[in-house]
Amino acid sequence: MHTENLACSKIDEAVAAFLADSSSLTECLPYGNGHINDTFLMRCQTPENGERRYILQRMNHDIFKNPPQLMENVVHVTQYLRQIILSQGGDPDRETLNVVKTADGADWYQDSAENYWRVFPFIERSMCLEKVEGEKDFYDSAVAFGNFQKMLAGFPVETLHETIPNFHNTVSRFQDFKKAVQDADPERAALAQREIAFALDREQDTSVLTDLLAEGTLPLRVTHNDTKLNNILFDADTRKALCIIDLDTVMPGLSLYDFGDSIRFGASTGAEDEPDLDKVSVDLSLFEAFTRGYLEGCAGSLTAKEIEMLPMGAKMMTYECGIRFLADFLTGDHYFKVHRANHNLDRARTQFKLVADMEKKWKEMQAIVARYQNPL
Ligand code: ADP
Ligand code: GN1
Ligand code: MG
């Protein structure tokens, strides 16, 4: 077995907990580009000499404080989706994640170093895009995220645990950011002076969504909350959106969170960590494609106020992600995985460049949304 580069020593224990016969494992290597969990691709030989692949993940329990509760959400949500997909004649083995049990019948495994592990079947003949390659892909992802929310509209929301409290509460994120500025490493703070000022200047925006939620103007729904493009798998044969993954943050939330988080990642002309800011701007054609797809996927379930606020959702999710990256940079990169010096600062810069560009293109973004709100 190849176990090159394995991030944690107890992985063998985890593999043994999930596989009836550990000797069937032929390879286990780090996989994917997630910023949070440690993800591995396991290849196993079947008794018929075929191959079966699985995703093995060590859940990040610094971030997700209660992995058993998180897994209860994931099991509950995937079983619910499975029933809906079946009732619609779909293929639940490909259109939703499925949790693989340990040999003891549990949904997760805790190793002797207190790491929490889980396994999903690898969804074969699928692909994960790290960047939008065309309007059609982005539109498809929008329909899928809208449809995901629609499928979960009847989910018993009171049974969901809050896996990260205040995840998209921008007011509370701003408080955390200000604390990070106070506690910042001085050299890092000096490098990020302009970005800190940019973020502080926009304090008055931070309560827009929380106020509308508190006064009941925007409805609470079951949302995904982490709708970036690499949290969706596309069918490799048809290139259609196939399966929404990374269900760790499925929680009550605003539709604007899902819309906005997709826009901040997918409607940018540059990568999330592009160091050359000249390459980073909001592509309005992509913004329009996503708006069209998301409203189609939600199939009439969004209120007029939600639709009107879509541009604000995009701006606030981009700003919020920017202050999260910047806070992490200032305090030593403990949250998001980093792969080079100043990586989180580069990420924060792209988010703020996008916020500034949205402010410039605000009227156009509103006009695009209005066209879909009042179709001719
Ligand atoms: P993180 O929370 O760290 O972002 P994800 O759950 O998103 O972790 O997984 C990381 C990557 O692994 C995904 O972006 C995707 O490429 C891949 N992946 C995750 N689950 C599956 C699966 N069941 N089948 C195929 N690929 C998967
Ligand atoms: C993280 O897990 P991943 O890589 O899909 C983060 C999101 C951020 C995103 C930025 C649980 O998403 O909130 O928007 O990075 N997830 C968590 O790329 O914090
Ligand atoms: Mg992910």
Q: Is 320 in the pocket of ligand 1 (CB under 6 A)?
A: no
CATH of residue 166:
3.90.1200.10
Instruction: Please name the helix (run of DSSP H) or strand (run of DSSP E) that holds residue 357, with its range, or none.
Output: helix 343-360
Closest by Cα among 92, 94, 79, 90 to 124: 94
Same domain, 53 and 88: yes
Same domain, 202 and 257: yes
In the structure, what pLDDT confidence band is assigned to residue 20 with cuts at 50, 70 and 90? confident
Residue at a domain's end among 121, 151, 179: 121
Q: Is 315 in the pocket of ligand 2 (CB under 6 A)?
A: no
Residue 284's domain spans which residues? Answer: 135-373
Residue 149 lies in a domain: yes
Residue 170 lies in a domain: yes
Can you give the C-alpha Rg of the chain in angstroms?
21
Q: Is 266 in the pocket of ligand 2 (CB under 6 A)?
A: no
CATH of residue 101:
3.30.200.20
Same domain, 112 and 144: no
Tell me the ligand closest to 164's alpha carbon.
Answer: 2
Q: Is 338 in the pocket of ligand 2 (CB under 6 A)?
A: no
Task: Name the one residue in this structure whose structure tokens are 């889980």.
Answer: 118
Residue 98, pLDDT above cutoff 70? yes
Cα(25)–Cα(57) distance, integer angstroms: 16
Tell me the ligand closest to 35's alpha carbon.
Answer: 2
Q: Is 128 in the pocket of ligand 1 (CB under 6 A)?
A: yes
Same domain, 241 and 274: yes
Residue 91, pLDDT above cutoff 50? yes
Same domain, 230 and 336: yes
In total, how many domains does the chain have? 2
Atom of ligand 2 nearest to the CA of 264: 14
Q: Is 229 in the pocket of ligand 1 (CB under 6 A)?
A: no
Q: Is 120 in the pocket of ligand 1 (CB under 6 A)?
A: yes
Instruction: Specify the residue with its C-alpha closest to ligand 1, atom 5.
Output: 246
Residue 220, pLDDT above cutoff 90? yes
Residue 126 lies in a domain: no
Q: Specify whether the CB–CB gap between 256 and 310 falls below 8 A.
A: yes
Same domain, 267 and 143: yes
CA of 368 to the centre of ligand 3 (A): 29
Same domain, 71 and 158: no
Q: What is the pLDDT of residues 101-144, one digit of tens each?
A: 999 999 999 999 999 999 999 999 999 999 999 999 999 999 99
Tell me the ligand closest to 38's alpha carbon.
Answer: 1
Q: What pTM, to 2 d.p., does this model score?
A: 0.96
